[in-house]
Structure 1
Amino acid sequence: MTIDFSRQLHYVWALLPEIILCVSGMVILVVGVSGRYRHAHMAAGGSIESKSGDDLGWLALLGLLGAAMANAWLYSVTEVGESSMIAVDRFRLFSNWIFLLAAVLGILISFAYVYRQRLQAGEFYALILFATAGMMFMVGARDLIVVFLGLEVMSIAVYTLTAFNRRDRKSAEGGLKYFLLGAFSTGFLLYGIALVYGATGSTNVAVIGEAISNGEASMGLLSPAVALLTIGFAFKVSAIPFHMWTPDVYEGAPAPVTAWMSAAVKAAAFVAFLRVFMVGFDAIYALWYPILWWLAAITMVGANLIALVQTNIKRMLAYSSIAHTGYLLVAIAAANETAAAGMLFYLLVYTLMNMGAFAIVMSVSHHSEERLYIDDYVGFGWSQPLLGVFLTVFLLSLAGFPGTGGFMGKIYLLLGAAESDLWILSVILVLTTVVSYWYYLRVAWVMWMKDPETEGQHNRIIVPFPMRFALLASVGLILYVGIFPSAALEFARTSIEGLGTFGGGLIGQGP
């Protein structure tokens, strides 16, 4: 099938995965306020009715399956031209797989939490679908206005999910902080888009790239525009010094929301970041390269040092997430196909290992917001050997231990950096990775090397079947891509082809 966007129906076909997710979300909302679901969140703990919310979770998974089938079908579609507002390219489709995977894992690990915390299941699962649709709009956009609209659809749903547990003050606090700082950063992004339009006369990233290459853009407006766009994206990916919201939001948000947003929101922001800067601003690489160089360096160093002193495991994983932002910024600073493919590969692996780690954190905390300190993991490995092994695998992968997907992801980021002669950034990445081993392995040491403080300390841990399936799948995929990475990396490479010229990274200069 060929799409040239000459008819409105072509937009329907191009946006079919997003449409399926939005319709599924609305169906779940309607079903969630009808009949036995209406007061399910108010039912007494342990009653049969209080488990009825699981049906809505499975319905959400069915909607994600439909979106996945539509995304697979789009591989058979041929797009004519590159001037449309919506891209139907492999870069977008690969990114969609990451968002769909994150949403599936997020729902699978949330059943017990939603039940125990008496959350409104219909709204909870619908918001995840709406946010996922926003992510897809955002990364599939060739127009900065559509990027902004997708960002807002995603952000509003995530703000709501952060403050979703109305019985928890930290959840409300985290949601309010995220909303206020997010709205502030959105202003920077929107002002940057306005200046880009003033400088080039267009908001289409391909047209912007052509105008800059032909010398038709006003550099007086373009320089502040790039700076403002960088600030907006840096907030969304939580790069230092725009990370202030991350620890408090990760700690306050419901645990399954933290797990999901730590992977999916970061992935969406990075993919949109890469498309805008590689396609739209590739010709002025020398202008924005020093900014990203310093952002990457400061983020890698600062986040890893702060993570060393954390005692709350959610805050430790929050600073770990910020550190991984620094690693991924190296890929954008390198601006070549190897680094871009490595970034997609790394985002895929990061989704698996980070959400898997948070899933076990939820189990240890009894699907609530308690037992969130590292000392609560004393003797956990011997009391729950399988979960202990799984958490160890996730932590080793986050640290970049050989044989795991995290190690191969860092290798490809380093190869991309070396290809652009970013030797100092490469050294910083390696050294900060070594530093990160301390706070990751500290959790493993507490689990395996210390005896439980009380008898039966970890006997109440419950891992429902959906969560067990998610954990097994995540561990299996992490080990598989760690040992046999070629298929996934080749998939990422073919998804990058044709995205941009990647000429900037050949400069290979220092900041």
Structure 2
Amino acid sequence: MTSLEAPFISPSVDWWVLVPQIILVGTALGLLLVASLKTRSLPGWVSTITSIAAAAAAAIVAAVQWAAWGATPRPTLAGAFVADSFSLLLTVLVGAGVVMTALVAHSALDRYGMAPPEFAALLLASAAGAVVMAGANDLIVLFLGLESLSIALYVLIALAGRRASARESAMKYFVLGAFSSAFFLYGIALVYGATGSTNLSGIGDFLFGTIRETDHLLLAGIALLLVGLGFKVAAVPFHFWAPDVYEGAPSPVTGYLASIAKAAGFAAMARVLYVAVGEQSVAWTPILAGLAFATLAVGAVMAICQNDVKRMLAYSSISHAGFVLVGLTAVDLEVLRDIWAPIGDSASVSVDAGNGISSAVFYLVAYSFMALGSFAVLSVIGSASTEPADETSRHHLSRYGGLARRHPVLALAFAVLLLAQAGVPLTAGFVAKFVVIRAAIGTGGYVLASVAMGTAVVSAFAYLRVVLAMYAPEGSAADGDSAPVARASRPRWGGLPPTSVLAITLAVAVTLVVGVLPQTLLEWSADAFVSIIIL
């Protein structure tokens, strides 16, 4: 029998590993099917509850899998996808992000003219793509997850099509996203040509013990992969789309973009760099450090130049991406080789060796809740019935003047979230910045750690401007601006949509609890490091 006549051997599938994705995709398809077959449109609350239930179920299943399997990786699809502590922690984060986004969007769908079933289905589809990116162990699977996430986000932004700013943002994101996907695909081709494999573990095994500084094909492939993923995380100089897209997109979608989409991009970057090309860290670490330096500086400086709060938070998200990049640069190749070599001793891996990845994971989880809560506040403020018809000036700083007098609880929640992003002690933001800077110092990155601390001080000015505006004395702010109240057609709880209040409360609670008691999340982040290294 010739090779052409050899029977096809299908890979074994561990369906239990794929349950979270099946829940998300199955619910999205089922919701669209029901909505298309009904003669009358589904009530908005049905789509909201369905998406929340599906996301919560996926997160609970991931938590159960994590408790059952621990840090031991559980591959499926011939090793193309893996469930480990790293991917399962990100799956739980994605589920929480979808729940909060659905809660915030429930009171804003009518205002943006978005159909609830389509919004919920696209949100779940993008979440499935993010989960695939977190657990992908093959560059092809990673690309499929990346495109599933991206295409759903393009349409989510464009779903508010009656607003010119949303259409413009969706088109800009789509065009630049297509370019980044082309770079990523070309990088996959070059890496495959240099190593003969697209499997991340297979590439790592091929390169183990060697530093191929003269393999220009491989180095070019790594560079192109970084370009493609750098766009998704809005790292400088691939950030130009972020401020305009964040400003024009509906605020609930913007929060999802700034948190869950960014977390998925960084999860993919961590897997590619540490699982596949960790042996080439001498080549990519300086590049990553340069990206981190530029991202920190540009994000912080541009944030303090903004008078629009939404654009300020957009540039702030760029600066936060710089902190995550600082964590990913904190790699000690010799320590990692000692871990990779004795696979049987993986249970005794030193947590200190993983300060880089674990600090980045901690920062991603902490920042995601801060971003989701902040943009939930913006969505509430933007729901004022007297707001402008377009996106221009809807979130100008003057509209936040005197917010503490009109809605003291909302202003307090927003102040907590902003101060947490500034790195004030007893908040998750302070602990996140501390562990990232400690990881950088631990690997000799003193210059980068100094830049991170300096930019944290600079960006604090942008947050304090908003806090001071909210608590400004009467008469010093534009009190004539419309107050942030919900539309009369929506349920009211203290003048605010109850679902948005619930999402903001959850974000503030997580921010404060993690800031005071960070040990549990630190341990989960360390487990994520162990699982990604021993894969």
Deviation at 1:164, TM superposition (A): 1.2
Distance in 2 (alpha carbons) for counterparts of 1:326 and 1:247: 15
Q: What residue in structure 2 maps to residue 85 of structure 1?
A: 80
Work out whether 1:498 is the aligned partner of 2:531: yes
Q: 1:437 to 1:10 in 2, by over 3 A?
A: same
Is 1:98–2:121 an aligned residue pair? no
Q: Match of 1:226?
A: 222
- 8 Å CA contact 2:44–2:116 kept in 1: the answer is yes
Distance 1:32 1:326, change over 3 A: same
- Of the structure 1 ranges 79-88 and 96-105, higher mean CA displacement relative to structure 2 is found in 79-88
> Which of the numbers 46, 67, 77 marks the counterpart of 1:55?
46
Who is 2:383 aligned against? 366
Deviations 1:94-134 (A, max 9, x none): 11111111111100111110033331110001000000000
Deviation at 1:463, TM superposition (A): 2.0
1:193 aligned onto 2:174: no
Matched residue SS, 1:87: strand
* Counterpart position of 2:335: none
Letter in 2 for 1:413: V
CA contact (8 A) 1:98 1:348 kept: yes
Give the residue type in structure 2 aligned to 1:475: V
Residue equivalent to 2:483 = 458
Q: Which residue type is aligned with residue 426 of structure 1?
A: A
Name stretches of at least 5 consecutive residues in structure 1 with no aligned partner.
Answer: 1-5, 41-51, 503-511
Matched, 1:489 2:512: no
Residues 64 and 498 (structure 1), Cα distance of their counterparts in 2 relative to 1, 3 Å cut? closer
How many corresponding residue pairs? 485
What letter corresponds to residue 64 of structure 1 in structure 2? A
What is the match of residue 150 of structure 2? Answer: 155
Q: Flag the 1:144–1:166 CA change in 2: closer, same or farther, 3 A.
A: same
Q: Which amino acid aligns with 2:466?
A: V
1:10, distance to aligned residue in structure 2 (A) = 3.3
2:350 maps to which residue? none
> Pairwise mapping of residues 317-396 of structure 1 onto structure 2 (< 5 A)?
317-335=313-331, 336-366=353-383, 369=391, 371-396=394-419
What residue number does 1:124 align with?
119
Does 2:56 correspond to 1:65? yes
* Aligned partner (choices 138, 143, 167) of residue 143 of structure 1: 138
- In structure 2, what is the Cα distance between the partners aligned to 1:25 and 1:418? 45
Q: How does 1:309-320 map to 2 (within 5 A)?
A: 309-320=305-316
Residue by residue, what CA displacement relative to the aligned partner does 1:219-266 show, whole Å, maximum 9, x if unpaired? 121111111111111111101110011011101111110111110110
1:182 aligned partner, one-letter code: G
Which residue number in structure 2 is paired with residue 293 of structure 1?
A: 289
Q: Distance in 1 between matches of 2:174 and 2:74?
A: 39
Paired residue type of 2:129: G
Query: Is the 2:252–2:376 contact (alpha carbons within 8 Å) kept by the matching residues of 1?
Result: yes
Return 5+ residue gaps in structure 2 as ranges: 1-8, 332-352, 487-494
Change in Cα spacing, 1:395 to 1:81, as seen in structure 2 (3 Å) is closer
- Does the CA-based 8 Å contact 1:402-1:482 persist in structure 2? yes
Q: 1:171 is matched with which residue?
A: 166
Contact 2:402–2:479 (Cα < 8 Å) also in 1: no
- 1:17 maps to 2:12: no
In angstroms, what is the RMSD of aligned CA positions? Answer: 2.0
- 1:33 paired with 2:36, answer yes
Alpha-carbon separation, structure 2, partners of 1:126 and 1:285: 39
Tell me which amino acid in the other structure corresponds to 1:492.
Answer: S
Superposition pairs of residues 375-454 of structure 1, within 5 angstroms: 375-451=398-474, 453-454=478-479
Q: Of 249, 265, 271, which residue of structure 1 is paired with 2:267?
A: 271
Deviates most, 7-16 or 473-482: 7-16
Contact 1:405 1:480 in 2 (8 A): yes
Residue 66 of structure 1 and its aligned partner are, at CA, apart by: 2.1
Secondary structure of the residue aligned to 1:109 is: helix
Cα offset for 1:341?
1.0
Matches of 1:197 and 1:455, distance apart in 2: 61
Which residue number corresponds to residue 104 of structure 2?
109
TM-score by length of 1: 0.91
Cα displacement (A) at 1:289: 0.8
Q: 1:337 to 1:427 in 2, by over 3 A?
A: same
> What is the alpha-carbon distance in structure 1 between the residues aligned to residue 177 and residue 101 of structure 2?
22
Mapped partners of 2:235, 2:113: distance in 1 = 34
SS at match of 2:239: coil
C-alpha separation between the residues in 2 aligned to 1:244 and 1:117? 25
The superposition leaves residues 183-202 of structure 1 with CA deviations (integer Å, 9 ceiling, x where unpaired) of 00111111011010000000
* Residues 178 and 249 in structure 1, CA contact (< 8 A), matched pair in contact too: yes
Aligned partners of 1:339 and 1:215: how far apart in 2?
22
Partner of 2:260: helix, strand, or coil?
A: helix
Compared CA separation, residues 74 and 501, structure 1 to 2 (3 A): closer
1:216 offset after TM fit, Å?
9.8
- Structure 1 residue 14 displacement after superposition: 1.4
Q: Judging changes above 3 Å, is the alpha-carbon distance between structure 1 residues 479 and 36 closer, same or farther for their aligned structure 2 residues?
A: farther
- 2:303 alignment partner in structure 1: 307
1:479 to 509, 512, 516: 512
The answer to whether the aligner puts 1:74 opposite 2:99 as a matched pair is no
1:73 Cα shift?
Answer: 3.1
In 1, Cα distance between equivalents of 2:10 and 2:510: 41
Amino acid in structure 1 at the alignment position of 2:285:
Y
